[in-house]
Amino acid sequence: MGIQEVILRTLTLFLLLPVVFATLIERVQGQTPPEQVHEQDGGVRETLESIVIPPMAHAPFTTMLQTEWVRILYTGGTITVVNERRVARDSNGRVYQERWLLVPKNVNKYSQTTALQISDPVNHSLATCMMDGRQVCDLTYDSPASSTVYKFEGPPTGPLPDDAGYAIHESLGNQTVPGLDTIGTRDSTIYNPGVFGNDDKVSIEREFWYSPNWG
């Protein structure tokens, strides 16, 4: 067999491959209907940041935490979602939390548990068990120690960097909240136009009550 014959046979093989592939595709398409996938465009998802429960030792408690989230619509209406979840802390500073879905308020729709979490400051571990039927828990090692000191305070009163706006930090004094002595603060932030795409000034206000005895 000469070199020219090998080259001719190789070229013939490459020329025949597209025909073979096209024939196979036609046969497969004729036997199996194409898969149909129904998708929607993306959209916007908002996340509610949970409270912080420090791993304070010698301060055990257990309670039912109630959350209500009110979102104001540009048309003037509101959307309100709520949930209830159990949280607890033992004398060693271990924190137990349940995660529940937020559901519309005053609607006959029940929430569901999404996860269980246990933070252990002794082993510096965080166990997260997803309640989706897999019965699998993820264990990470990033939990702070029970001796960690937490300071909850907002930005000081004054202008924001880069002429972004102005912050106001106010003390609200002491107040008893369901049996706890708490210290209250209010942080108001006024952002100038153009900081994050806003065409007018935007004010954000946060009121915070903290119990130094219970962390």
Copy the structure tokens of residue 72: 């104001």
Gap between the Cα atoms of 142 and 69, Å rounded: 29
Burial classification of residue 103, based on how many CB atoms lie within 10 Å of its CB (0-12 exposed, 13-18 middle, 19 or more buried): middle
- 208 pLDDT band, cuts 50/70/90, is confident
Q: Answer whether residue 186 shows pLDDT above 70.
A: yes
Q: Phi/psi zone of residue 76: left (φ > 0), alpha (ψ -120 to 50 degrees), beta? A: left
Which amino acid is residue 180, in one-letter code? L
Q: Phi/psi zone of residue 106: left (φ > 0), alpha (ψ -120 to 50 degrees), beta? A: left
Asked if residues 88 and 110 have their Cβ atoms less than 8 Å apart, the reply is no
In this prediction, residues 18-41 reach a mean pLDDT of 62
Phi first, then psi: what are they for 74, rounded to 5°? -65, -20
Each domain of the chain, given as residue ranges in start order, spans 49-150, 153-215
**163 secondary structure, DSSP code:** G
Percent of the chain whose pLDDT exceeds 70: 79
pTM: 0.65
Tallying the residues shown for the chain, one arrives at 215
Q: Answer whether residue 158 shows pLDDT above 70.
A: yes
Q: Tens digit of pLDDT for each residue in 72-110?
A: 888 889 999 999 999 999 999 999 999 999 999 988 878
Gap between the Cα atoms of 137 and 118, Å rounded: 10
Copy the structure tokens of residue 1: 């067999």
